[in-house]
Chains A and B, each alone.
Chain A
Amino acid sequence: MIVNLILIFLAIGTLVSVKLFPESDAGNFPTLLAWAILILSITDLAISIFGKKQKTSNDTNDDEVFDNRSWIITISTLVYLLVMPYLGFIVSSGILCAIVLKAQNATSLLRALAFGFTLATIIYFVFANIMNIALPIGILN
């Protein structure tokens, strides 16, 4: 149901935005798609509200849950992305890795930090030195 609501919002947003386009056919394809999404989302929403409940899922595994630990990982990742340009890749990734491990009760904090920083350092050097991809260095500069 949440997805349907998001899609309806997306479709309405598209239809409003397209109105601001200058006179060209750049908006035709998105308009067509937005109307299709709007109609089908409302249909799906109606089915999920009034229709019979069906369980034919293959995509959603029953052993996969989004619980408090998932929330911790999600919020930590979001914070990580915001601070990475300032703290640098090694420091922020090491901390994120440790948080993810601790959130899953994988190991002690010290071992989690050690694993996180080792992994981040290896990845940094592989990408920076072998592949020539400069990752943010941040406070270690």
Chain B
Amino acid sequence: MDAIFSEIFSTLGQWQYWLTLIVGVSCGLVLGAIPGISSTMAIALLVPFTFGMDIVQSSALLIAIYFATIYGGSIPAILFKTPGTPASSALIFDGYSMMTQGKAGRALSVAAISMLVGAMIGSALLIFAAPYISIVALKFGPAELFAMASFGIIVIVSVSDNSLLKGTLSALAGLLISCIGMDPMSGYPRFIFGATNLMEGIPFIPVLIGLFAISGALIRKTSTNKFNDVKVGFCELPSKKDFKKTLPTMIKSGFLGTFIGSAPGAGCDIASFVSYGLAKHGATKDDSFGKGEIKGIAAVESAKSACTSGALIPLLSLGIPGDAVTAILIGAFILHGIQPGPLLFENHAPLTGVIFTTVVFAHLLVFAVAMLSVKWSTLVLKIDERFIKASVLILAIVGSYALRNNITDVYIAFAFGVIGVIMQRGQFPVAPFLLALILGQMAEVNFRRALMLADGSFNFLFEAPIALGILLVAITFFVLALVKRFRKNS
């Protein structure tokens, strides 16, 4: 234990360590805020810089970038209705609504506080409960992953504002679009009609950019935002009332986000949408979800930051990367001769201690920068909205192109921009469509795998109690939403 603490204090005393963290956080926030630059891409871009570093600095840089990009995506989602990362999409409903009401500073500061609370819950669970969570997470087979994907989609459909039917249709359309490309089981190219660029399927980042950023640029707003009337302090803190109101949501979402993040295959996108859906389900009469409710921001932000710590649980304790980002992280560890897994705690205990410390300090630094940047971020809104719209359109196009250096992705983004406009005019919610598109392949592949393992029998659900439980909870949510809607209409 002494060796661990000695290593931690020695690392904390190095200026190079802090510089690495600051650079990682700054780069992560900027890259995360650019639509199209996902956390995976940001880390992939900066991995070459870690080759000359030792493992402590290297892991500090990559972890800082990971956490910062996930938060960075929230800033454009709140300010411009353009999520920087898919995980931030759920922030649009309440974050952007708050911005249009002139409460951008409050929205950003609530987001930063929620990020910190969720991150601290996630970090505490990572440090103290990783082995136990890993045991449960390891039980996640195809049936459970299918149930988890279905849960995310059903929950977000059940909180559709307009009608459940339109929400369901939107989700089904997203699932159908996710079938485009090579069949993951047989390898047969489905619905590509000779377009080889679509072999890998419809990439969801251009879709996200199209649905939110490009459709927003195509539609004209008749009113202007009210931000010019509001003064934002250097570091705006949420009021005591806001904090008291959102704290229970932050805590619940923190635990939920950590658990979802720890399940291999389930990422921060699902965590943020599920958390938002659950918070909306538990809304009281005073809450105004979808119209600028701070609980909505707290739920999303807390869940996605907790999810980042949760994703490190299977990585560090089992050596299993849960998603693309942690796969790159595991590669960086291996590059430095460190094999994550159960033996990491035994063979490299001081290093593990330093990594845990990095997780905590990286989150704290993201929070500090986020709070200090509230004023500067909101100052952007002082610029004429029409100039912002033109800039967002160009940036959205570049973001789509940057994903694979492929013009097809830009065409996809534009097509979905038009689809986004049509959906909005037809009052079809876009969130179920997007989430279904993201989770479609996960749902289909795991459903078919589970069926194969059960020799084609649908009994696999009854043989997997966790999966059955998750699905039953999801169905309950849907039925409750249906009953609520029926009562409201009658």
Do A and B come together as binding partners? yes
Interface residues of A (CB under 8 A from B): 1-4, 6-7, 10-11, 14, 17, 21-22, 24-27, 29-30, 33-34, 36-37, 40-41, 43-44, 47, 54, 56-61, 63-67, 69-70, 73-74, 77-78, 80-81, 84-85, 89, 93, 96-97, 100-101, 104-106, 115-116, 119-120, 123, 127, 131-136
Residues of A within 8 A of B423 (CB): 3
- Whole-angstrom distance between the alpha carbons of A100 and B290 in the complex? 29
- Whole-angstrom distance between the alpha carbons of A80 and B281 in the complex? 43
Q: Are A59 and B162 in contact (CB under 8 A)?
A: yes
Q: Which residue of A lies closest to B42 (CB)?
A: A131
With A59-B429, A131-B45 known as contacts, the answer to whether A100 contacts B176 (CB < 8 A) is no
With A14-B176, A85-B407, A123-B398 known as contacts, the answer to whether A26 contacts B186 (CB < 8 A) is yes
Which residues of chain B in 11-55 are interfacial with respect to chain A, using CB atoms and an 8 Å cutoff? Answer: 37, 45
With A22-B188, A74-B418, A93-B397 known as contacts, the answer to whether A33 contacts B175 (CB < 8 A) is yes
With A3-B423, A25-B186, A81-B411 known as contacts, the answer to whether A134 contacts B45 (CB < 8 A) is no
Q: Which of A36, A58, A59, A135 makes the CB contact (< 8 A) with B401?
A: A135
Q: Are A26 and B395 in contact (CB under 8 A)?
A: no
Q: Are A63 and B222 in contact (CB under 8 A)?
A: yes
Is residue B336 within 8 Å, beta carbon to beta carbon, of the partner chain? no
- Whole-angstrom distance between the alpha carbons of A30 and B173 in the complex? 10
Q: Are B387 and A66 in contact (CB under 8 A)?
A: no
Q: Are B166 and A44 in contact (CB under 8 A)?
A: yes
Q: Which residue of A lies closest to B399 (CB)?
A: A127
Q: Are B219 and A70 in contact (CB under 8 A)?
A: yes
Residues of B within 8 A of A22 (CB): 188
- Interface class of chain B by DSSP: helix
- Whole-angstrom distance between the alpha carbons of A44 and B428 in the complex? 11
Q: Are A127 and B176 in contact (CB under 8 A)?
A: no
Q: Are B411 and A66 in contact (CB under 8 A)?
A: no
Chain A to chain B contacts (Cβ below 8 Å), 21 pairs = A3-B426, A17-B190, A17-B191, A24-B186, A26-B183, A26-B185, A26-B186, A26-B188, A27-B190, A30-B176, A37-B169, A44-B169, A58-B290, A66-B421, A69-B220, A70-B421, A73-B218, A97-B393, A101-B387, A115-B390, A123-B398
Q: Which of A59, A78, A120 makes the CB contact (< 8 A) with B430?
A: A59
Q: Which of B188, B290, B402, B428 makes the CB contact (< 8 A) with A24?
A: B188
- Whole-angstrom distance between the alpha carbons of A115 and B388 in the complex? 11
Residues of A within 8 A of B402 (CB): 127, 131, 133
Q: Which of B165, B290, B418 makes the CB contact (< 8 A) with A40?
A: B165
Q: Are A60 and B425 in contact (CB under 8 A)?
A: yes
Q: Are B169 and A29 in contact (CB under 8 A)?
A: no
